């Protein structure tokens, strides 16, 4: 009996490993391709890029391991069924549940392992990857070349056009700095005419300046010296007043246009399980959208790891019924089940975002629905 269990698990290992490599490579290339222009920019430390890439792998594996398990189960049990090995096992007097048992135990172990790494490891590495992106951004700022206009900068609700003439050969400070600050928020004067909406503009000139990293707040600080501020009011030029300064510090929240949507405050996916629980405790009386999203993230920390066990429960009997003759059929079935799982998961999260009372049940619905179907199919197989 031990030989049979080893044989089943050996058959499962090969296609599962192949599926893991395929899905991980696909997601990794997609993620890296989105950031290729950042990571391959001149002046970026390749070691820093490597550390960033390593931080991505655990979070990717939390998605790709369940997908790989589903592919492995469909292909391995499909081959056993199509080669009549399942029939041979049954005719030898071995119950089909004996074949299923070691695979179900493996799925349970994988689900527990997925929960363990999602408890704190994956969130911490996600947050660490943001630190590496911040350091990459700082390196990009320090490689800005003189004599060029940079109009892809922003700080909060202000668009910035930046220029500097040269660098000090000794201190590498920027010299002859020109900046144009344009507020994105339109000023409304109370008139009905559309021309009454205008943006505030300010011209900033400085003799020199330098860029400093603030690691604690993940901000880029621009220190300027010996300059002037020129607010522009095109409708009332007489009100334009010039202001001089000896030193001025301006802080930037992740600002390069190509860094948008990569750096931000700590999100739900970057929080450990205790941090999510604490956030829910603090916002319990508010019950706003932020609270609902935190509750969804917390419930998904328990629901998503169960995908390994769910896919094994539905994959084993389905493969025996369908008998996929090749890997292409196995992959096609897996994509169909993954799509159904994803639809149910998105439905659950959408209910959770609006605070629906059935949201907890809906978030676990992918595992409940597919797991129940798989359990029924296993029961029917056990009756044969």
**H helix intervals, 163-286:** 273-282
Please state whether the predicted TM-score (pTM) of the whole model is above 0.85: no
d(CA 329, CA 338): 14
Question: Percent of the chain, pLDDT > 70?
Answer: 82
Most confident of 29-33, 129-133, 170-174: 170-174
Lowest mean pLDDT of 10-24, 163-177, 271-285, name the range. Answer: 271-285
Q: pLDDT tens across 5-64, in order?
A: 888 888 899 899 998 998 988 888 877 776 666 666 666 777 887 888 888 888 888 889
**Residue, of 284 and 77, whose pLDDT is higher:** 77
Contacts from 138-147 at CB under 8 Å and sequence distance 24+? 138/211, 138/213, 138/220, 139/43, 139/44, 139/45, 139/48, 140/38, 140/41, 140/43, 140/44, 140/256, 141/211, 141/220, 141/256, 142/43, 142/211, 143/41, 143/42, 143/43, 144/174, 146/174, 146/175
Q: pLDDT tens across 112-125, in order?
A: 999 999 888 888 88
In the chain, where are the structural domains located? 2-139+265-382, 157-252
Confidence of residue 66 (pLDDT cuts 50, 70, 90): very high
d(CA 267, CA 290): 10
- Please report the pLDDT score of residue 287 as a whole number: 66
């Amino acid at each position: 009996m031990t030989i049979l269990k080893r044989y089943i698990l050996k058959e499962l290992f090969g296609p599962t490993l192949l599926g893991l490599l395929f899905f991980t490579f696909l997601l990794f290339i997609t993620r890296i391709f989105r950031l290729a222009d950042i990571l391959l920019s001149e002046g970026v430390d390749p070691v820093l890029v490597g550390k960033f890439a390593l931080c991505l792998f655990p979070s990717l594996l939390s998605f790709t391991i369940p997908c790989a398990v589903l592919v492995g189960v469909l292909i391995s049990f499909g081959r056993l069924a199509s080669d009549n090995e399942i029939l041979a096992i049954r005719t030898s007097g071995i119950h089909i549940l004996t074949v299923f048992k070691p695979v179900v135990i493996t799925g349970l172990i994988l689900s527990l392992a997925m929960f363990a790494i999602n408890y704190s490891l994956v969130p911490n590495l996600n947050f660490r990857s943001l630190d590496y992106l911040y350091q990459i951004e700082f390196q990009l700022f320090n490689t800005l070349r003189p004599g060029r206009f940079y109009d892809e900068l922003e700080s909060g609700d202000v668009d910035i056009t930046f220029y500097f003439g040269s660098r000090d050969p000794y201190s590498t400070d920027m010299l002859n700095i020109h900046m144009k600050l344009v507020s994105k928020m339109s000023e409304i004067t109370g008139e009905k005419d559309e021309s009454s909406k205008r943006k505030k503009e300010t011209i900033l000139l400085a003799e020199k300046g330098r860029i400093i990293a603030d690691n604690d707040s993940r901000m880029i600080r621009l220190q300027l010296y010996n300059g002037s501020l020129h607010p522009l009011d095109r409708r009332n030029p007489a009100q334009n007043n010039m202001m001089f300064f000896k030193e001025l510090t301006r802080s930037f929240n992740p600002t390069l246009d190509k860094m948008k949507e990569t750096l931000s405050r700590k999100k739900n996916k970057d929080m450990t399980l205790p941090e999510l629980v604490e956030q829910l405790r603090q916002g319990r009386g508010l019950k706003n959208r932020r609270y609902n999203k935190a509750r969804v993230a917390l419930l998904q920390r328990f629901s998503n790891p169960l995908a390994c066990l769910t896919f094994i429960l539905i994959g084993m009997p389905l493969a025996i019924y369908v008998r996929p003759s090749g890997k292409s059929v196995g992959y096609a079935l897996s994509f169909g089940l993954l799509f159904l799982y994803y639809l149910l998961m998105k439905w659950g999260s959408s209910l959770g975002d609006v605070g629906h009372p059935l949201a907890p049940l809906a978030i676990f619905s992918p595992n409940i629905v597919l797991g129940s179907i798989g359990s029924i199919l296993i029961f029917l197989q056990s009756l044969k």
